[in-house]
A and B are shown apart, each in its own frame.
Chain A
């Protein structure tokens, strides 16, 4: 997907003014947040499992190379071909090569965020392969020619009326008004594609070193069709997805659906290892696994390695007040919300996504919701520091921060200056106690008034109160 993260501010303002989107986002928020809260409450040992999950992920990441080779050896032993891709272009070239070598005309895909990262659909289409997205949300977006706006619920920004309109155009049938009928129409439209595809393309939520296994986690069953029916199965996934054992998977899968949508378990979990046996009715004759780097090694071994623990549940964005208001498209790349505000700058360059680590209030909802304990606000803060050090923020902002740092290190000076500031701000608030415009920060007061402070600083008030108590 083309990076547009440099336009975050502009797109965020557009999205804030988009009433339809605002309505669609409001509807979704309650379902995600309440659903997760309920599932966590009845689980009993959430914190214990969370800690274990973080440990399991860290263990594999600490010896990532050895775990990857263990996975490769076992997957190969079972008949899969393991490919390695350093870049998005390499990943596409490998899969286009497999398609060409096997005369593939149609590929059925289940949802894969890595494939969005590398623009796989475009590459295959350019090579003459028809690509069909089969996850209902992704199918809707393919019809709309739009990228996903959420990593678990890609079409969360669309209303049913918008979907109905797309289906009328695509299927040439009368307009539907009920969601179950729309779902059935999509099922019928897609069934033929599953049965007629030469190639199935899936992601893999984790890859298991012990057994050489890749896997899919879905509610719809589309990934099961994709990994079972076509004669060639291609898995595209990131190198950071490797875990040690089936038991590690059991731990992580207790967290993933609960964090994502408050479900105890998804309807389908499929571990796929190796090929169809000669007398089997189903299963692929070839299996290819493409392990993609595309920026991941930049996080390995560094101060932000914890980000690689991410299991792509979407809880951080579901709980983020910024995401809830601007939606996923404002972030301008594949990964939105807090996790995207870290991954996007790292993968596509901080200079191309400078606003993302700043699009956070540091309310810490994301860190609390994260099932693998990624300190997301902390990592965003590290990116902000890098921006400051690399002079990537505008000079007035850098000057202001430098001035503030100078003052705050000198308590007497700070008390003096903040005392003046508090009094001036109170005066600016006038009789109603509201500041309508702040010089130099007029963007902030454009949409709202700032409540004027009390006229004295916290330290002054604290001292006074201590004296009164004596």
Chain B
């Protein structure tokens, strides 16, 4: 009998799913950017884990069994969506947690409600490179979209924990206000650079460029996801010289051979800029990310 009681005690301790009411909401996100926004909105009422780190290319995160366990116990999954984090779909199936299945209250696609750029029209295929069906998925790099994501996340958290809805709404409003305040600051710092032509490695900076008035005149990749060729780089050099592009933005995980080859022939400066929270030491929040990017560009 004593053994039975002991086994029951151990199993109770191992079954966190059974004690769902009196605890914080467990949120799993596919990116550190989303985790930062969830922390800002949820505060102490949520525990947050990200399946990827900011140093990774979000397109190519490899799903692993240990991620399944995070999802199995989650109340909420927040994904970037638009196919950039498709790898999470196999994990959801393996976790068999109906709280986060597609269509369940705990399944959050953060792209819902976001204004998208470069949505393809007509037929798309592999000849266009790794084109995303629903538009350019790097939308979190516009801080105004942070507010859309925060509103969406706050709504879901309030639905799942109505007694804390006022808390989530209050924190969301403070997040929005902070975005508005910082946006003015970032705009002011980048104002002298408005209209500056940029080259980026991947097509990941269009939302940032649109918000702050930069002009992207070319990419190191000839088409999204396709490695650069000498012929493409030669053409890009001509474009950069003609347009006066002096800066090449490169996410930290991309190789530098292509940008260096272009830089040597144009004198353009290579800026290795993180595109996600955690992409560099010290970037711990969504605000830190833009502070860092703006600081690097302003100092270029």
Do A and B come from the same complex?
Answer: no
Give the interface of B toward A (CB within 8 A): none
Give the interface of A toward B (CB within 8 A): none
